[in-house]
Amino acid sequence: MPSARDLFKRLRVLVLEHHDVQRALTVKTLLGIGSIDVLQAADGQGALALLQRHGGVDIALCDIQTLVVDGLAFLSCVSEARLVSGVIICSAMPGELVHAVEQIVRLQGLEWLGHAGKPALAQVLNPLLQAYRANSRPRIARPSVAPDQPGAEEIHRGINRQEFCAWFQPKFHLSNGLIQGAEVLLRWQRSPGEVWSPATFLPAVEQYGLLDTIFFSLFEQGLRLQRHMCSAGNGFKLAFNLEASQLACPHFVDRIRDMLSAHGASPASVTFELTETGLLQAPGMCITNMVRLRMLGCDLSIDDFGVGYSSLERLCQLPFNEVKLDAGFIRDFKQPRSGAVISAVLGLARGLNMRVVAEGIETIEQLRSLQSLGCHLGQGYLYARPMSEAHMTNWAFTGDPALWRTAVSPAG
């Protein structure tokens, strides 16, 4: 029979405790039991940053007072980012308060492992840890990425060197060829001649809990370009891609609002695009934040519309005011089924008072077909490929900056 030390040597435990002495005692107790990988933090914000840097843990051992002060947002974020599997509470509080916190933990989708009292003694913690290990479960807390994906240290180095850059693909009014704005895309500028697309690193970024860090850097870069573009007196809308998991963080919208205010940007000049497949099982906080974004004045777009599983249901339930037609339908527009889908989506959007953006426009023939069907906005290689901030600035102001007219002439 394995010893307790052998049984627990692979556990990763986070100690969340605001009191320095209590935290040190708890860490010492855990190390004595055999949990040899212990992280510690004094508050929820510091704990989240720690997990984003070092990867997830099996168990968060939380002081109940620290948790109530600022740790509830922490629980929501780590649950969505899959950075914590189970929670143990340390407290000398009455049982009814512990029970209330237990319900909160369970509602966040985390495993409730029990109450260890305070101070957390080895004879109490030991059975809780044994029960966790004895229960056969998928280990969700530790980052696991494909061998060809970059590691956490490499990504952190890229963040510190500001190598994660915003690229921009312009969007156009299809009726007259004027620029409406741009979709903001993520690229990793590894070196002057080496640019990586998200497919080569984004899964690792998500696994290591760094998606928000990179997103807000991208948001900052986009708002900076927008301010420059609008200096010529033209409106310039930006569209940013979001994962549903990002909206599960309670403070996400507050940060968006603060950054918009700092840049003097109108919320109405920003659209957030979410894929419908990511919203199939969206938690309540995600939907709440979608409503908050709309109330702030931002637009919400359902991306890749028509390739998910419950498009019409989600379109009616969630506060979208824009639809992005998937490029696959545009590419196959001559096929009867694809043509029917395009016509149906445009008609549905008109009935719901929603904009439609066609993506992946590559030929004049596709453009003319969309124009004839009454589609007003689009993007694609026919107009412009994604480009860096410097290239976007030079490209947009070539010729008459008051018009920013594309080389593709409108239908006449």
What is the number of structural domains in the chain? 2
Same domain, 174 and 116: no
Same domain, 177 and 271: yes
Same domain, 194 and 87: no
* Residues in contact with 255: Cβ distance below 8 Å, sequence separation at least 6, in sequence order: 216
Is 408 part of a structural domain of the chain? Answer: no
CATH for 73: 3.40.50.2300
Is 144 part of a structural domain of the chain? Answer: no
Residue with the two structure tokens 């939907």: 287
Same domain, 196 and 332: yes
Is 116 part of a structural domain of the chain? Answer: yes
Same domain, 213 and 245: yes
Are residues 137 and 58 in contact, defined by beta-carbon separation less than 8 angstroms? no
Q: Identify residue 298 by its one-letter amino acid code.
A: C
**Boundary residue ending a domain (100, 134, 168):** 134
Domain housing 13 = 4-134
> Hey, what are 156's tokens?
């952190």
Question: Among the options 206, 359, 365, 389, which is catalytic?
Answer: 359
Same domain, 117 and 160: no
Ordered per-residue pLDDT tens for the chain, 412 residues: 444 444 444 688 899 988 888 888 888 888 887 655 788 888 888 888 888 877 888 899 988 777 655 556 788 788 878 889 899 988 777 666 777 778 778 877 788 898 888 888 888 888 888 888 776 454 444 445 556 788 888 999 999 999 999 999 999 999 988 899 999 999 999 988 899 999 889 888 988 889 999 999 999 999 999 998 887 667 899 999 998 888 878 889 999 999 999 999 999 999 999 976 666 555 667 888 899 999 999 999 998 776 554 456 666 778 899 999 988 889 988 888 888 889 998 998 898 889 999 999 999 999 999 999 999 999 999 999 999 999 998 877 765 444 445 555 555 5
CATH for 307: 3.20.20.450
Is 79 part of a structural domain of the chain? Answer: yes
Q: How far is CA 394 from CA 179, 220, 230, 231, 265, in A?
A: 14, 20, 14, 14, 22
Same domain, 188 and 247: yes
Helix (H) or strand (E) holding 378: strand 377-378
Is 169 part of a structural domain of the chain? Answer: yes
First vs last Cα of the chain: how many Å apart? 83
Same domain, 33 and 76: yes
322-325 and 270-275 beta bridge pairing: unpaired
Q: Is 362 a catalytic residue?
A: no
The size of the chain, in residues, is 412
At 230 the pLDDT is 85
Are residues 388 and 193 in contact, defined by beta-carbon separation less than 8 angstroms? no
Same domain, 191 and 63: no
Which segments of 66-144 are extended strands (E)? 84-90, 111-115
Coil/strand/helix, residue 353: coil
At 4 the pLDDT is 45
Q: How far is CA 401 from CA 102, 231, 377, 382, in A?
A: 59, 11, 20, 20
Is 147 part of a structural domain of the chain? Answer: no
270-275 and 299-305 beta bridge pairing: parallel
Are residues 98 and 91 in contact, defined by beta-carbon separation less than 8 angstroms? yes
Same domain, 22 and 92: yes
Is 410 part of a structural domain of the chain? Answer: no
Same domain, 282 and 253: yes
**Distance of alpha carbon 39 from alpha carbon 14, whole angstroms:** 5
Task: Say how far residue 86 (Cα) sits from the centre of its chain.
Answer: 23
- Residue 353 — left, alpha, or beta (φ > 0 → left; ψ -120 to 50 → alpha)? left
Same domain, 125 and 177: no
**Distance of alpha carbon 219 from alpha carbon 360, whole angstroms:** 23
Is 273 part of a structural domain of the chain? Answer: yes
